[in-house]
Amino acid sequence: MEVPPPEPSLYTVKAIAIMDNDGNRMIAKYYDDTFPTTKEQKAFEKNLFNKTHRANAEIIMLEGLTCVYRSNVDLFFYVIGSANENELILVSVLNAFYDAISQILRKNVEKRALLENLDATFLAMDEICDGGIILEADPMSVVQRVAIRMDDVPLGEQTVAQVIQSAKEQIKWSLLK
Overall pTM surpassing 0.85 (yes/no): no
Counting other chains too, the contacts that 16-19 makes at CB distance below 8 Å and 24 or more residues apart are 16/78, 16/79, 16/80, 16/93, 16/97, 16/125, 16/128, 16/129, 17/45, 17/77, 17/78, 17/80, 18/75, 18/76, 18/77, 18/78, 18/114, 18/121, 19/45, 19/49, 19/75, 19/76, 19/78
Residue 155 has pLDDT above 70, yes or no: no
Condensed to tens digits (0 to 9), the pLDDT of residues 25-71 reads: 999 999 999 899 999 999 999 999 999 888 778 999 998 999 999 98
pLDDT of residue 54: 84
**Given pLDDT bands bounded at 50, 70 and 90, which one contains residue 4?**
confident
Helix (H) / strand (E) element for 111: namely helix 111-116
pLDDT of residue 145: 86
Q: For residue 103, report the phi and psi dihedrals to the nearest 5 degrees.
A: -70, -40
**Which domains are present in the chain?**
15-176 (3.30.450.60)
Condensed to tens digits (0 to 9), the pLDDT of residues 99-127 reads: 999 998 888 788 888 888 888 899 999 99
Residue 163 has pLDDT above 70, yes or no: no
Q: What 3-state class would DSSP assign to 13?
A: coil
Give the range among 7-16, 45-54, 57-66, 162-171 with minimum mean pLDDT.
162-171
pLDDT of residue 152: 57
Condensed to tens digits (0 to 9), the pLDDT of residues 64-113 reads: 999 999 988 889 999 999 988 889 999 999 999 999 999 988 887 888 88
pLDDT of residue 3: 73
